[in-house]
Amino acid sequence: MLATFKQIWGLKTLKGKLRFYTLLLIALPFLLVTSFFFLFQREQVLGGALRQIVSSLRQEGNVMRSWMGERFDDARFLAGIDALRQGDVPAMLPLLHFYQDTHPFVSDVIYVSAQGHIAGAVSAAPGIYVGDRPYFQQARAGKPSLTSVPVGRASGQPICLFVTPIQAADGGFGGAIAIIVVLSSLDRWLLGARAAPGGEVLLCDGQGRILAPSSAVAAGGGPGRAKAPAALLEAGETGSLLRSGDGETWLGAAMPLGDDGWRLLSQVAASDVLAGYRRQSWWFLLAALCTLAVVTPLVLRLSRNLERPLLALAAYARTLRATRYREDCPLEFPKDVPIEIRELLDAFCQMADEMRGHIEETERISVMDALTGLYNRRFLFSGGTKLLDVAARAGKPFACLMIDLDHFKDVNDIHGHSAGDRVLAHLGRVLLACVRKSDLVARYGGEEFAVLLTGADAAQAAELAERIRGALAREPCRIDDVFLPVTASFGVAEAREEVEYGESPLEDMLARADKALYRAKAAGRDRVVVETRG
């Protein structure tokens, strides 16, 4: 895939690379800045909107708690009136009516006797027993309470009761006073209390039922059925990002109002918050593209001025390679070439002339070992590296033999160095007779030889080593009229991708084969040892 990409974009040529990376260098700052603007700045906008929601809800919560405290103060004030403490219903009713008339949001005021019956009220019918209601039980225990009713009997709308116990004139429990408020009376305040653009504020009870405003109650299925989203209820007073079932992102917070579980909720769609930000982002992107359109032709012109001399230099380099450095420098430098490029071209032409002389001298150096007719150590590494690279690209195995004549010092000491040279030549002939034409046989140094085997693994190399050892056993070296037995020790290794010894796979393989050779020597000589891992 990478090769296809390079071919499509022309990255295999200097011209293609220069233009591609030049354009990339131009576009990258704009891409980075645009990415920062679209990604990081987006989070900043959402975070700011969320902080605004939390701050606004905290302020509205303070207002709501103040309003609730005033209703409890009203209930305590009524509970302290003598007529209620004495249970004088005829005397208290005008007072209850007066309170209800002066507080339009109050739908009813109820006096409950100590026995749990409604004894007096503005609207409610007397005689109803409410002694089993939780709010009355709390009043009997001397505690005020706030109770929400999702569906009021009279109004059919969510209501709440601010209930306070009454202390009788004799100091005992004298019943309870309950101020009933229809929560739709909070609509105007809640609809005006926008925590964020496009987001409304909801009042919910401890069970997550929406109590106000009435528009949200109706949209949620009506009184008693309208429920706030569970994720919004869990958002907490610090707020959080929410995910709806359809994958849309929301910002929301839930501000607790007290121990009764009431909460103020608000959420707004992230898309509404980001509407203005998106318009700003598109304008920014348009400006970046316009800048890119202006700068690109200028940079391309500079790129072409650099391309021409470099392309001419590359063409000359190809010509030199094809003619083995026999071509003179034909480059003509344009006048507008930068000084650095001109110096590069001059230096290249001078180096080409010097290289031509070095090559001619190098070609005179023989790559053959004069004594054995085999390749020398120098060619072993240069030619062997090429063979190993070809085998690696083709996915073929590659192995080598390291061969050392046994007791060669004794041959020199007993029969003389001339005999030693003939033994070396004899081994070279045997090796050439046993290997393939594609294999590389070289004198490694002294009495040590190396064989590189293309397309052969360690097992196949070991088989060849045994054949060579057998051939040596069958063909002793003839020195004048004496047939001198010749044996050798063999170390076998196979090429690996990882390099443990030396700096290249070839050096590593030869080193491992040499270690195997020394093990063969230590084990008694005249044998083949295959290098193993570990």
Structure confidence at residue 268 (pLDDT) = 83
- pLDDT < 50 stretches in the chain: 364
All structural domains of the chain: 14-273 (3.30.450.20), 277-363 (no CATH), 377-530 (3.30.70.270)
Q: How far is CA 14 from CA 21, 79, 303, 356, in A?
A: 11, 95, 11, 25
67/257 Cα distance (integer angstroms): 11
Element (H, E) at 147: strand 145-149
pLDDT digits (tens, 9 = 90+) for 353-389: 777 767 665 654 668 888 888 999 989 998 999 999 9
Q: What is the 8-class DSSP label of residue 184? A: G
Q: How far apart are the first and last CA of the chain?
A: 37
Structure confidence at residue 396 (pLDDT) = 94
Structure confidence at residue 175 (pLDDT) = 93
| Residue located via tokens 């430098």 | 333
Q: pTM of this prediction?
A: 0.50
Structure tokens at 192: 């005006």
Torsion angles phi and psi, residue 42, rounded to 5: -60, -45
In 186-270, beta strands by DSSP E: 201-204, 210-212, 240-243, 249-256, 263-269
Strands 488-494 and 528-530: parallel
Structure confidence at residue 364 (pLDDT) = 46
